[in-house]
């Protein structure tokens, strides 16, 4: 049994949607321990949902992660359950939202197309698959860890690609993507240690965004720079980012998630 199930979606907290999803999980697995990753993903924003799931999933030793940001709900898009090499599962629509998290969890070992006729004894809403398909499938997996109970194996090569990829490169220049802007206005980039060796060693970087250039130093903490000054750092989830001490880097730079950043390592002469 996998006791922990996490929930991530764009449902917000005003309506009954989140509680309905939790009720369906608990009906099937009353012993489930439910953790809310976020219910505040911007509506229909698969890119943002994929980033949040990827960043959060590594904190759980083993879990079933249910992620539903599903603009195509009710169409013929495929519902998925993915087993990863860590033993964790990812459940959600086949629109790329699960793939970055699956990669962070060591890759997909088994992929299943969920078939609600295998388990559903209730009417399935055309617009609420989170409650009627994904939640019960996740609960069944948490009890038995057997994908054949909820669907059929599907080839990994048939899955929709991720909305972004992590940067893998060499040299002193590259283009990175802003994955997210957090509550403090700090930027998360699609760069992790080990994927750009030269960047791992860099102490100073030229950052170009929207035609403007900034020279930023690599720092460990916010208080290592003056107030409102920008710097490069490694964030708490293990991604490189750009932040400012007691100020919002995104506002200073006038940038948003999905914007492209050009980086050039400044080498000491």
Q: What is residue 267's predicted lDDT score, i.e. its pLDDT?
A: 81
Q: What is residue 211's predicted lDDT score, i.e. its pLDDT?
A: 85
The model's pTM: 0.94
Query: Which residues are registered as beta bridge partners of 35?
Result: 6
- Read off the tokens for 237: 């989830």
Q: What is residue 35's predicted lDDT score, i.e. its pLDDT?
A: 98
Strand order through the sheet with 260-265: 212-217, 204-209, 260-265, 173-181, 187-189, 240-244, 230-234
Write out pLDDT tens, residues 121-175. 999 999 999 999 999 999 999 999 999 999 999 999 999 999 999 999 999 999 9
Mean pLDDT of 175-195: 97
Q: What is residue 269's predicted lDDT score, i.e. its pLDDT?
A: 55
Question: DSSP letters along the chain, please?
Answer: ---EEEEEES--SSSSHHHHHHHHHHHH-TT-EEEEEES-PPTT-HHHHHHHHHHHHTT-SS-EEEEE--TTTTSSPPEEEEEETTS-EEEEESSSTTHHHHHHTT-EEEEEEE-GGGT--SPPPSS-HIIIIIHHHHHHHHHH--GGGTEEE--GGGSPPPS-------SSEEEEEEEEE-TTS-EEES--TTS-HHHHH-SEEEEEETTEEEEEEB-SSGGGS-TT-EEEEE-TTS-EEEEETTB-HHHHHT--TT-EEEEEE----
Mean pLDDT of 79-90: 98
Query: Please, what is the angle between helix 17-28 and helix 135-144, to 10°?
Result: 30
Task: Report d(CA 105, CA 124) in Å as an integer.
Answer: 31
Write out pLDDT tens, residues 59-75. 999 999 999 999 999 99
Split at pLDDT 50, 70, 90, the class of 221 is very high
Q: Class assignment of domain 173-265?
A: mainly beta
User: Where in the chain do CATH 3.40.50.10790 domains reside?
Assistant: 4-158
Q: What is residue 210's predicted lDDT score, i.e. its pLDDT?
A: 85
The chain-wide mean pLDDT, for the chain, equals: 96
Q: Which residue has the tokens 């998290």?
A: 101
Tell me which residue of 127, 259, 267 sits closest to 181, measured CA to CA. 259
Does the structure show a pLDDT above 80 at 43? yes
Q: Class assignment of domain 4-158?
A: alpha beta
Tell me which residue of 239, 232, 228 sits closest to 266, measured CA to CA. 232
User: Where in the chain do CATH 2.40.30.90 domains reside?
Assistant: 173-265
Mean pLDDT of 218-233: 96
- Read off the tokens for 50: 């994929």
Q: What is residue 54's predicted lDDT score, i.e. its pLDDT?
A: 98
């Amino acid at each position: 049994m996998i006791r922990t199930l996490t929930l991530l979606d764009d449902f917000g907290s005003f309506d009954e949607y989140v509680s309905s999803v939790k009720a369906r999980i608990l009906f099937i697995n009353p012993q489930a321990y439910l953790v809310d990753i976020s219910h505040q993903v911007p509506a229909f924003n698969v890119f943002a949902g994929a980033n949040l799931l990827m960043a959060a999933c590594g904190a759980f030793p083993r879990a079933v992660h249910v992620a539903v940001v599903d603009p195509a709900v009710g169409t013929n898009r495929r519902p998925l359950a993915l087993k990863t090499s860590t033993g964790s599962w990812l459940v959600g629509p086949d629109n790329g939202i699960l793939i970055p998290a699956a990669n962070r969890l060591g890759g997909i070992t088994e992929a299943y197309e969920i078939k609600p006729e295998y388990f559903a004894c209730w009417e399935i809403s055309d617009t609420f698959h989170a409650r009627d398909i994904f939640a019960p499938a996740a609960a069944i997996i948490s009890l038995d860890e057997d994908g054949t109970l909820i669907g059929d194996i599907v080839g990994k090569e048939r899955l929709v690609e991720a909305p972004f990829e992590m940067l893998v490169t060499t040299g002193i220049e590259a283009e990175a993507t802003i994955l997210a802007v957090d509550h403090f206005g700090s930027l998360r980039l699609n760069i992790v240690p080990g994927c750009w060796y030269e960047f791992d060693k860099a102490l100073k970087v030229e950052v170009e965004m929207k035609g403007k250039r900034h020279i930023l130093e690599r720092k460990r903490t916010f208080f290592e720079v003056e107030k409102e000054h920008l710097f490069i750092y490694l964030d708490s989830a293990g991604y490189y980012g750009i932040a400012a001490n007691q100020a919002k880097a995104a506002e200073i730079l006038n940038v948003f998630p999905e914007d492209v950043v050009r980086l050039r390592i400044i080498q000491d002469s």
